[in-house]
């Protein structure tokens, strides 16, 4: 696997938003300003609650296949690689990690068996698109912590995806879960969400390294980032953290993250979080408290570190 200098682009985009000229202008700026070689494309769909069996992946709000394919083709023409990442959210705002059902099917109760049947239909659809457009990698799931224990079902998901997609497959586990997953042997690449507090990277990398060495597979951070708000460098995973805009905290966190991960030869890349499809005005950058990199000091840290990597 080639080293991944990646950024997630256009998270939460709705149907039609990848057809606007400013979306493609944003992509060009991402390449120029961050020295990337890979774009991670999240296709976000929803289910109503954490106990819903149905996944609304064909809703009118979901990006159309036409615009997804057009976007992948455009990125490839920019001489960049594409990691296609179907993502499931919950409509009521609960984090996807809390999706859960009884361990054993019970009549009249929502079931893992029904949920996984619907999940496979959703993921298989995008696996077909990934194969058609020759995406360099496909992410079968993201931060589905309560489902991680369903090893048999996830192995079946992977088997079905392999019938449709011939490229590299990964699962994006959540932070602190790298050494808890029992089915890393079924994927090609290990990946996780590296939202670790500043000052804790050596400890976490030591722990993850044991998994990488045991499994003898490539590893990268499919998500990794920090918001630009006060307190975020100590709680980079808390997207709802209250605080004031603080671009310096985000910059400090990125400096720390790169300083420690760059010393580990087994870290084979990053999927930084994130870059918007529709950018805010640069004169408003000091007001932005989100994870976005555009125009912030952290963006310069990213370009400096990515430019050093062959």
Handedness of CA 68, 70, 71, 76 (dihedral sign): positive
All structural domains of the chain: 4-308 (3.20.20.80)
Q: Which residues are 83's β-sheet partners?
A: 40, 137
Return the pLDDT at 115. 98
What pLDDT digit, counting tens, does each position of 76-133 carry? 999 999 999 999 999 999 999 999 999 999 999 999 999 999 999 999 999 999 999 9
Q: Which residues are 267's β-sheet partners?
A: 219
Interatomic CA distance for residues 295 and 300, integer angstroms: 8
User: Measuring CA to CA, which residue among 203, 276, 193, 292 is closest to residue 237?
Assistant: 193
Low-confidence ranges of the chain (pLDDT < 50): none
Interatomic CA distance for residues 102 and 32, integer angstroms: 48
Return the pLDDT at 310. 86
């Amino acid at each position: 696997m080639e080293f991944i200098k990646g950024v997630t682009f256009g998270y939460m985009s709705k149907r039609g938003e990848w057809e606007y000229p400013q979306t493609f202008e944003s992509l060009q700026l991402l390449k120029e300003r961050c020295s990337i070689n890979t774009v991670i494309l999240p296709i976000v769909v929803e289910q109503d609650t954490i106990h819903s069996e149905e996944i609304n992946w064909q809703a009118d709000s979901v990006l159309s296949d036409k615009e997804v394919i057009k976007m992948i083709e455009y990125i490839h023409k920019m001489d960049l690689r594409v990691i296609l990442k179907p993502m499931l959210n919950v409509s009521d705002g609960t984090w996807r990690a809390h999706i859960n059902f009884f361990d054993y099917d019970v009549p009249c109760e929502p079931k893992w068996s029904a949920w996984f049947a619907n999940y496979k239909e959703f993921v298989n659809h995008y696996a077909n698109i990934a194969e058609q457009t020759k995406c360099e990698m496909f992410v079968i799931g993201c931060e589905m912590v309560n489902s991680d224990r369903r090893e048999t079902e996830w192995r079946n998901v992977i088997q079905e995806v392999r019938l449709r997609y011939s490229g590299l497959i990964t699962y994006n586990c959540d932070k602190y879960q790298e050494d808890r997953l029992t089915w890393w042997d079924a994927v090609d690449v290990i990946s996780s969400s590296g939202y670790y507090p500043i000052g804790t990277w050596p400890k976490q990398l030591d722990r993850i390294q044991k998994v990488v060495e045991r499994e003898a597979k490539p590893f990268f951070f499919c998500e990794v980032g920090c918001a630009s708000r006060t307190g975020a460098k100590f709680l980079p995973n808390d997207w709802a953290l209250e605080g004031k805009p603080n671009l310096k905290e985000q910059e400090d966190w990125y400096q720390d993250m790169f300083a420690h991960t760059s010393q580990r030869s087994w870290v084979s890349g990053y999927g930084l979080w994130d870059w918007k499809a529709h950018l805010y005005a640069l004169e408003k950058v000091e007001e932005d408290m989100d994870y976005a990199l555009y125009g912030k000091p952290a963006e310069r840290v990213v370009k400096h570190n990515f430019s050093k990597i062959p």
